Structure 1
């Protein structure tokens, strides 16, 4: 996958997670008309080109024509994301919040996510336009709805340092 953000971002990701390469890109555009909230959760699915029954890959779903599956924990532990802020982000416009240290707890049941997040330090990811945040995919995170009319746009790039089994390919 070739990205317009340049080699510098890929190199930074690889310095944080040796062998990391980009495997997915997502755009977020929170506006007054498109305002959402997400509860505490982990990103535990990967986007794949096709569904192929593969040991360890479970909970298959098709979202907008793209297959997603939950991979084994060993793969999830080797995924991080870069969040590139296109607009300022703060608690008023629903910035990302991280429950610090939770990435080291393995898979966390959705029913336990809120209580666990409340038991650790929570960080509001306040950012200016152009700031980049890197985080592990397994960290508990959430986003509140915006309380302002200002938009909040961000691009997220997922990086993985683990190869997929031969029966699977990244959707990108």
Structure 2
């Protein structure tokens, strides 16, 4: 993997990142419910992905894990957006940590933008992904524009090079946390399972703690 590509484009791919043994562990470990995402506190089978993340972000640790399965029965679309919140164990009012929300019993807050600029996420594909089953789309290089308002996300993305994240089972995508992304509904009756892992190397200001 090329760190320069991650910094310049906002993403880098590792094709065939997972061994068959790791994929089998993940297949058995996730039972995704009929909703957009299932949050997980821990997950076996990610050692290879964690090692790759550490190559791109030294001392990276997984701080949030979400499993997805998009089908015609559990289907959704997301507009262009940035993911700007982190999952925390408790709500503790802390300078520059804003927009607190509680999602499924887990507290989330938006940290300072400098914090997010140093984070990455991985997307591990347990099934193939393409435009037919609602694969992720990235607006390349938009991670470098800092905080992008919801009202301007479409225009910023439309001015960028948009990539369909076409993937095979076992492929892994690593991306900067602030890159604009979206996905369309699936038009097939097949599974489109994926796991997203957020990574951070920075410590949280006490007394904040990661939820994961």
Shared fold, TM over 0.5: yes
- Structure 1 156/168 Cα, relative in aligned 2: closer, same or farther at 3 Å? same
Is residue 59 of structure 2 the alignment partner of residue 51 of structure 1? no
Picking from 32, 42, 60, the partner of 1:20 is: 60
CA RMSD of aligned residues (A): 1.2
Give 1:171 shift.
0.6
CA distance in 2, matches of 1:46, 1:22: 11
The question of whether the paired residues in 1 share the 8 Å contact of 2:71 and 2:133 is answered with no
Higher helix share: 2
Between 1:6-15 and 1:120-129, the stretch displaced more is 6-15
CA distance in 2, matches of 1:153, 1:2: 17
Return 5+ residue gaps in structure 1 as ranges.
Answer: none
Q: Secondary structure at the match of 2:129?
A: coil
- Structure 1 2/36 Cα, relative in aligned 2: closer, same or farther at 3 Å? closer
Match of 1:38 in 2: 78
Match of 1:95 in 2: 135
Match of 1:64 in 2: 104
Give 1:20 shift.
1.1
CA distance in 2, matches of 1:3, 1:147: 29
CA distance in 2, matches of 1:2, 1:42: 24
Higher strand share: 1
Match of 1:74 in 2: 114
After superposition, what is the alpha-carbon deviation per residue over 1:57-80, rounded to whole angstroms, capped at 9, x for unaligned? 000000110000000011101111
Q: Secondary structure at the match of 2:84?
A: coil
CA distance in 2, matches of 1:19, 1:106: 23
After superposition, what is the alpha-carbon deviation per residue over 1:32-77, rounded to whole angstroms, capped at 9, x for unaligned? 1110000000010000000000001000000110000000011101
After superposition, what is the alpha-carbon deviation per residue over 1:140-171, rounded to whole angstroms, capped at 9, x for unaligned? 00010011111211011110011111110011
CA distance in 1, matches of 2:105, 2:47: 29
Give 1:3 shift.
4.2
Structure 1 runs of 4+ aligned residues shifted over 4 Å read: none
CA distance in 1, matches of 2:81, 2:153: 6
TM-score for both structures, normalised by structure 2: 0.79
CA distance in 2, matches of 1:162, 1:75: 8
Match of 1:168 in 2: 208
Equivalenced residue count is 172
Picking from 169, 173, 176, the partner of 1:129 is: 169
Q: Secondary structure at the match of 1:130?
A: coil
Picking from 129, 142, 151, the partner of 2:182 is: 142
